[in-house]
Structure 1
Amino acid sequence: MNTATVKLASVLLQYPTTALFDGLDALEKFAADTTPKPARESFGRFLGWLRATPPDEVAQHYVQTFDLHRRCTLYLTYYRYGDTRKRGMAMVIFKTAYRDAGFVPSDDELPDYLPMVLDFAALCPRGKRLLAGHRADLELLRRNLTKAESPYADVVAAVIADLPGLGKRELEQVRAAWEAGPPREDVGLEPFAPPEYLSGYGSGGAPWQP
């Protein structure tokens, strides 16, 4: 798994701040110089859209896509467990992996938040294995983003291009989940993060630098 790919995807999947747009030149150079061809092409399309779209429109699209659409959430365990008690148990796997590796995640987001998982994958082999274990969930996210005609589908596609393919059984599970949507249950976690978590993971005022 290419470290540059997951590092760049983490940046691009976070809420689009002014710093993101100020760092577009650096992002484009980083993508062109360090990512493999399939990811580079996907990143190129997305970065072209970012450059051509007013920042306020990008921000509005981000919120409408990820914060208000349950099938496009960036919280990986939601695709498999939805609003059920099992999702809470799945969170423990992320927390344990972070703790054992000495990775200190931000308190701004839940541990299964995709940009955070991508940051972890950029740091160590265990992070890459954790991400690969959610290959089917990433495929569901990509399909849902594609159906929604969101340019963010290209960012997820760049990550997927660097992961092992899905087997027959996994593809069947993806198809079933695609048709049914995330599981529902009256008790358990909310589908997304609570409102206080929606302020943005890792956001800062300085332009992005590799």
Structure 2
Amino acid sequence: MRRWRRPDSGARQQDRVVWQCASLLLAYPDAGQSERLDTVESLLAHLPDTAGLAAPVRALRSLPEIEAATAYVDTFDLRCRTTLLLTYWTDGDTRNRGAAMLRFADVYRAAGVEPPAGESADHLAVLLEFAATVDPRAGGALLAEHRPAIDLLAQRLTELDSPYAAVLAAVASTLPAATDRDAERARRLAMSGPPAESVGLQPFTLTVPPRRTEGVH
């Protein structure tokens, strides 16, 4: 995971704990998974309740590393309908997506940190850790902006009976109440998916980052 540690004010401490827990839970389950789950359990002690996060911790801890890794890839990297890459939800297969990804990187740099090497700046786990540990105002604003995608992700993960559904629901619970516009955007995403633009572009395909391929077949 990233090593950003420059706390700022601007969000409830409880929300920031939820964001950090969610970031750790949405990380690829590699050899550091057990340590991350230990950290989440220790952080949950600082919440008045577990925000629904105790159940996914138990579920993920019960899986052998190879099974957890395979399930993660199948859920998030091989299904466009449940991708954690937020710009795919807003810009899909269009020319605008590059600029949208750059915007995330620019927000991180404006807060005084570099986007993490080897990880996409628009990955939800990256944004959550940035919001939790660097700039909760800017990070929280990006999370709120992408609420329709987060709500739809939670819905689809629930339909898949995925332990990650509770993680997305916990994140959504920290955000401002969904507006009518948010609900309409989520409805359009559910019906027609992200924007598409095929002229002059290669088809967009989600891929597993190189660091995730070891031991996954």
Q: 1:145 maps to which residue?
A: 157
| Structure 1 residue 18, shift from structure 2 partner | 2.2
Deviations 1:29-67 (A, max 9, x none): 322x12353xx2421110111222222221111010011
TM-score (norm 2): 0.82
Deviations 1:176-210 (A, max 9, x none): 21111222222278343x55x3525xxxxxxxxxx
Q: 1:170 maps to which residue?
A: 182
Q: 1:157 maps to which residue?
A: 169
Q: 2:125 maps to which residue?
A: 115
Aligned partner letter, 1:29: S
Find the residue that maps to 1:169 and give its secondary structure.
helix
Would you say how many aligned residue pairs link Structure 1 and Structure 2?
A: 195
Q: 1:6 maps to which residue?
A: 19
Q: 1:27 maps to which residue?
A: 40
Q: 1:110 to 1:95 in 2, by over 3 A?
A: same
| % same residue | 38
TM-score (norm 1): 0.85
| Structure 1 residue 164, shift from structure 2 partner | 0.8
| Structure 1 residue 22, shift from structure 2 partner | 4.1
| Of 56, 71, 79, the match for 1:46 | 56
The whole-number CA distance in structure 1 between the counterparts of 2:185 and 2:56 is 28
Q: 1:115 to 1:25 in 2, by over 3 A?
A: closer
Q: Which ranges of 4 or more aligned residues in structure 1 deviate by more than 3 Å? A: 22-26
| Structure 1 residue 10, shift from structure 2 partner | 0.8
Unaligned runs of 5+ in 1: 201-210
Contact 2:76-2:83 within 8 A present in 1 as well: yes
Unaligned runs of 5+ in 2: 1-10, 213-217
Q: 1:60 to 1:179 in 2, by over 3 A?
A: same
Q: 1:190 maps to which residue?
A: 204
The whole-number CA distance in structure 2 between the counterparts of 1:126 and 1:61 is 31
Q: 1:106 maps to which residue?
A: 116
| Structure 1 residue 166, shift from structure 2 partner | 0.9
Q: Which moved more, 1:15-24 or 1:149-158?
A: 15-24
| Structure 1 residue 94, shift from structure 2 partner | 0.9
Query: Normalized per residue, which structure has more helix?
Result: 1
